[in-house]
Amino acid sequence: MGRLTVNLCGLELDNPIIPASGTFGYGYEFAEFYDINVLGTFSFKGTTKEPRFGNPTPRIAECTGGMLNAVGLQNPGVEKVIAEELPKLKQCFHKKVMANVSGFSEEEYVYVSSLLDKEEQVGWIEVNISCPNVHGGGMSFGTDPIQAGKITKAVKAVTTKPVIIKLSPNVTDIVSIAKACEENGADGISLINTLMGMRIDLKTRKPIIKNVTGGLSGPAVFPVALRMVYQVAHAVKIPVIGMGGITTAEDVVEMMLAGATAVEVGAANLVDPYASKKIIENLPGVLDHLGIENIRDITGGVING
The catalytic residues are 131
Residue 124 lies in a domain: yes
Q: What percent of the chain has pLDDT over 70?
A: 96
Domain membership of residue 247 (yes or no) is yes
Q: Which of 129-138, 167-176, 192-201 has the lowest mean pLDDT?
A: 129-138
C-alpha 28: how far from its chain's center?
Answer: 18
Under the banding of pLDDT at 50, 70 and 90, the label for residue 133 is very low
Mean pLDDT, the chain, as a whole number? 95
Range of the domain at 170: 6-298
pLDDT digits (tens, 9 = 90+) for 139-174: 567 788 999 999 999 999 999 999 999 999 999 999
In this prediction, residue 305 carries a pLDDT of 54
Residue 292 falls inside a structural domain: yes
Residue 37 lies in a domain: yes
pLDDT score for 238: 98
Confidence of residue 135 (pLDDT cuts 50, 70, 90): very low
Cβ-based neighbours of 155, under 8 Å, separated by 6 or more: 101, 109, 110, 113, 125, 127, 163
Nearest to 155 by CA among 186, 195, 133: 186
Residue range 265-302, pLDDT digits in tens: 999 999 999 999 999 999 999 999 999 999 999 999 99
The answer to whether position 148 is within a domain reads yes
In a domain, 1, yes or no: no
Strand partners, 189: 165, 240
Q: How much is the pLDDT for 130?
A: 77
Residue-wise pLDDT tens digits, 77-121: 999 999 999 999 999 999 999 999 999 899 999 999 999 999 999
CB 221 within 8 A of CB 140: no
Residue 203: CATH number of its domain: 3.20.20.70
How many distinct structural domains can be found in the chain?
1
pLDDT tens per residue, range 5-27: 999 999 999 999 999 999 999 99
Q: Is 103 among the domain residues?
A: yes
Q: Could you read off the pLDDT of 196-226 as tens digits, one per residue?
A: 999 999 999 999 999 999 999 999 999 999 9
Determine the Cα–Cα distance for residues 10 and 275; give it in Å rounded to an integer.
27
User: Rounded CA gap, 244 and 263, in Å?
Assistant: 9
Answer yes or no: is 305 within a domain: no
CA–CA dist 28, 85 (Å, integer): 9
Contacts 24+ apart (CB under 8 A), 55-58: 55/133, 55/134, 55/210, 55/211, 56/210, 56/211, 57/210, 58/208, 58/209, 58/210
Q: Tell me, what's the pLDDT at 304?
A: 77
3-class secondary structure per residue, the chain? CCCCCEEECCEEECCCEEECCCCCCCCCCHHHCCCHHHCCCCECCCECCCCECCCCCCCEEEECCEEEECCCCCECCHHHHHHHHHHHHHCCCCCCEEEEECCCCHHHHHHHHHHHHCCCCEEEEEEECCCCCCCCCHHHHCCCHHHHHHHHHHHHCCCCCCEEEECCCCCCCHHHHHHHHHHCCCCEEEECCCEEECCEECCCCEECCCCCCEEEECHHHHHHHHHHHHHHHCCCCCCEEEECCCCCHHHHHHHHHHCCCEEEECCHHHHCCCHHHHHHHHHHHHHHHHCCCCHHHHCCCCCCC
Neighbours of 107 (CB within 10 A): 11
pLDDT of residue 1: 74
The pTM of the full predicted model, rounded to 2 decimals, is 0.95
Average pLDDT over residues 52-75: 94
Distance separating alpha carbons of residues 299 and 239, to the nearest angstrom: 10
- Cα(16)–Cα(95) distance, integer angstroms: 14
Average pLDDT over residues 126-133: 78
